[in-house]
Structure 1
């Protein structure tokens, strides 16, 4: 979304409004209720006020995004935005980035918690030290799950039970191998 403030979007020369974007999210969630909505967000675009920032914050919270990638605006030489008045101070951008990252973490945990106790499928990709040496893979709705297992499970379609939801990692329990990716391609 870049920003959820129509006035900031106009300054960014974006051709959509947040009403249009909100309608699309609502329709998408009606058709795919479990979908994960993520977005890149830029904070501190020239002239961004606290009120405009809060429009973004509230839109993201109201629409229950699953995760955000938050970036502070940075000047790019030769761009129209770099020449705009009202550049936002670095300290304000840093504070806003921190607030959105905190919101993102909260929303990601809320999203993951809907799946605690559920059976999902992952394709284990690797052993991860971050996950205590366990196998790690992603579900089709982008939940990162760690399970106990061996190297033979890497690249297999594996059913797991989410035993503890969290962010950025969910704990899972191996249930069974569904099929190998090789078999799925045939």
Structure 2
């Protein structure tokens, strides 16, 4: 299934997370090459067992780990999306990015964000696009309708 998008959620800074454990999580995510990663920082909630655990991770360390993992997530998503440059894929066009701009945004079935210019309204339609180049938030496409 070469087009499948495998995604994950990653929590950093859970009480007791050592430098070695974080490095292991980072290496694992790097090796898998997730299509998308939701990275979030553990924050204690009063009354929960984790809030009382020993080994609370310093907030500066949590921020540093989060930034490192977010950068990996960005690179992994770009690498995944980049595999589809030159392909034609169906896109569910969601909306015009800015009303009147003629630039539409939508998603492929494997959750790659696609942007394309069109003179015709594309919103709320599934239509093919040729994926032509990288965009900071996904790929630029050309509507083939």
Gaps of 5+ in 1: 1-31, 177-186
After superposition, what is the alpha-carbon deviation per residue over 1:29-50, rounded to whole angstroms, capped at 9, x for unaligned?
A: xxx2221111111100001011
Question: In the alignment, is the contact (CA less than 8 A) between 2:12 and 2:40 conserved in 1?
Answer: yes
Q: Aligned match of 2:42 in 73, 78, 94?
A: 73
Which residue is equivalent to 1:45? 14
Does residue 115 in structure 1 map to residue 84 in structure 2? yes
Contact 2:95 2:122 in 1 (8 A): no
Check if 1:143 corresponds to 2:143.
no
Cα distance in 1 between the residues matched to 2:120 and 2:59? 46
Any stretches of 5+ residues in structure 2 without a counterpart? none
Matched, 1:127 2:100: no
Paired with 1:133 and 1:100, the residues of 2 have a C-alpha distance of: 35
Report which of the two has the higher share of strand.
2
Aligned length: 143
The partner residue of 2:23 within 54, 58, 67 is: 54
Q: TM-score, normalised by structure 1?
A: 0.73
Q: Secondary structure of the equivalent of 1:126? A: strand
CA RMSD of aligned residues (A): 1.4
Q: Is the 8 A contact 1:39 1:69 kept in 2?
A: yes
Question: Deviation per CA, 1:54-76, whole angstroms, max 9, x where unpaired?
Answer: 11101111111111111110001
Q: Deviations over 1:116-145 (max 9, x none)?
A: 01001111111114xx65110000000000
**8 Å Cα contact 2:93/2:107 also seen in 1:** yes
Pick one of 130, 139, 145 that aligns with 1:170. Answer: 139
TM score, norm. by length of structure 2:
0.93
